[in-house]
Structure 1
């Protein structure tokens, strides 16, 4: 099944690439790799603000990470033109806005990881880092960046 058929089956519509909020570009291609800049969690079109361990649950965080994954896939589509050309999702790096005693960053990040597996199958299995941080730009609860390999 093509990636686009899978997206349709899951009722996912890819968003357009968001304009950068500072001095960077949304993606960089070099050789067979595509590096996507960090994407912030959004809810209802606005930055999804919150800090884990204080005012947002792990389950809400999984939903935020899943929403970021959809935005990342939209940017990846813009970068490569055809998602069926993706050979592998290589790595995700997730920054989770957390209090010092919150320890479920990996579970929050699963929201994105699971969606990449669902959409890309074996090509979606990736290396990953999930960090707890004291703050993310604009107070976002999660930020995720991605590296992919193109055929």
Structure 2
């Protein structure tokens, strides 16, 4: 197991990286192009439904954090640990929610806050947060991201 400072930060929060999730289709979990690592969208097992209907904004936040942990597990799979991450470049969050939910950014903060805690300034990123009617497998939140490796 890696002794990355980043993994130690997770442990201090009582968190650890999960095993890789099974893919839901014909795609790769990650693709490396030069020093960029493109990570496919990750949902979070146990977090299904619609924010604003069956889940609260706080529960959506926790779902997004779980998505973030799944993404970090993909990074570990790609490069053997988290220390190779030079910068989290972009995060896109998709929240299955009611038509009137305004707190979509606050839900996606679950992943964004995790990345900043784990990587410090290297975790700050450009971001898009979108509300949608449905996500694969009934997930409440799906997050994808691009990281720069160094």
Question: Same fold per TM (> 0.5)?
Answer: yes
Unaligned runs of 5+ in 2: none
Shift of 1:27: 0.4
How many positions carry a matched residue from both structures?
147
Instruction: List aligned pairs for 1:72-87, cutoff 5 A.
Output: 72-87=71-86
Question: In structure 1, what is the Cα distance between the partners aligned to 2:88 and 2:34?
Answer: 15
- Indicate the residue corresponding to 1:33 in structure 2: 36
Unaligned runs of 5+ in 1: none
- Indicate the residue corresponding to 2:100 in structure 1: 101
Question: In structure 2, what is the Cα distance between the partners aligned to 1:8 and 1:52?
Answer: 28
Query: Aligned Cα RMSD in Å?
Result: 1.2
User: Normalising by structure 1, what TM-score?
Assistant: 0.92
Stretches of 4+ aligned residues off by more than 6 angstroms: none
- Indicate the residue corresponding to 2:67 in structure 1: 68
User: Normalising by structure 2, what TM-score?
Assistant: 0.93
SS of residue in 1 equivalent to 2:83: helix
- Indicate the residue corresponding to 1:8 in structure 2: 11
Question: In structure 2, what is the Cα distance between the partners aligned to 1:89 and 1:10?
Answer: 20
